[in-house]
Every structure is written in structure tokens, then in C-alpha cells.
Amino acid sequence: MEPQADAVRDIDSASTKAVAGLSGEPKPGRLAMALNLVFPPVAQFANEFIVKGGALRGVEGLKSAVNAWARSFATQAKRYEKHYADDTALKARARDFLG
């Protein structure tokens, strides 16, 4: 089993590479992007844990399934940030409680 620090680095690099080539992709709706944040990672977890037999491998299978979920979620979250990075409206409505 690889150390979790290596798995986190792999998740970050894989999700960054997956999103890098999206410059010409049309901007999907916010609801579709929000649904993509939920359903593909859950499906990835179920595929890894149930279909591929992760449940039979114990903790190693659970770790593998959680890492697959995290990789899918990080990719979808970075895709969402790339399309909806403009947060000026959010900042205009936000209050500064510290200053």
C-alpha cells in the first residue's frame, strides 16, 4: 500500500492534468456542474468498492475506493472553479468581519 501523502500528490496531479485541456470547452450550467460534483465521485467510489471488489480487500480496498472518489471529486471541483472563477458578486455581498 502506498503512503497516503503519495496518493494525495497523485490525486492533485491527475486532476490538474484532466482539467488543463478545457480551455475551449463550452461553459455548462451551474446545476449541471453541481450535479457533477456529487454523482460522478459517488459512482467512482461504488465502482471501485463494489464492482471491482474493494470490499473484499478490507482496508486496502476502502482506501483505494476513497482515493478514487477523491480523484474524481478533485477533478470535478477544479473544472467548476475553471468555469466559475469570477467571484466579484460574492465578494460584493460579503461582509468583512475582521476589519
- Name the residue ranges covered by the structural domains of the chain: 30-84
User: pTM for this structure?
Assistant: 0.70
What residue spans of the chain are helical by DSSP H?
4-20, 30-46, 59-83, 88-93
Rounded-to-10 torsion of CA 86, 79, 50, 67? -90
Contact 45, 69 (CB under 8 A): yes
Query: Residue 30: helix, strand or coil by DSSP?
Result: helix
What average pLDDT does the structure give for the chain? 80
Helix axis angle, 30-46 relative to 59-83, nearest 10°? 170
pLDDT in tens, 32-50: 777 888 898 999 999 999 9
pLDDT in tens, 72-90: 988 888 888 877 766 676 6
pLDDT higher than 80, residue 53: yes
The whole-angstrom separation of Cα 29 and Cα 87 is 16
